[in-house]
Amino acid sequence: MNFDVAIDARAHFVRIAVTGEPALGELLSMIHLLGVESETWDEHRVMVDLRAVRTRFSRPEHFRIGEEAAASLSHMEKIASVVPPSASPA
């Protein structure tokens, strides 16, 4: 596994920072596990910081990541993601 995940509960949201080079399957699994784990969180707003992810995903892969986030985190009130400008799909 070539990536790390840090979960930091803030005053009004939970920040999830992902760093490294996750493969698509690893990222999808992580999103699914976060969906299960976040069911117990007091906060129902999440901000996913992907600025330190070095993996380049294709357009279909970006779509699949969005599908998994929508399915696994549907119980959340708000979801935001922060990506670097260079993260545009190839």
What is the C-alpha to C-alpha distance for residues 24 and 9, in angstroms, rounded to an integer? 26
d(CA 31, CA 9): 17
- Asked whether residue 1 is domain-assigned, the answer is no
- Which residue segment(s) compose the domain that 23 sits in? 16-87
In a domain? residue 68 = yes
Structural domains counted in the chain: 1
At 83, the pLDDT band (50, 70, 90 cuts) reads confident
Residue % of the chain over a pLDDT of 70 = 94
Q: How far apart are CA 20 and CA 3, in angstroms?
A: 4
Q: What is the pLDDT of residues 8-48, one digit of tens each?
A: 999 999 999 999 999 999 999 999 999 999 999 999 999 99
Structural domain contains residue 10: no
Residues 6 or more apart whose Cβ sits within 8 Å of residue 12: 43, 45
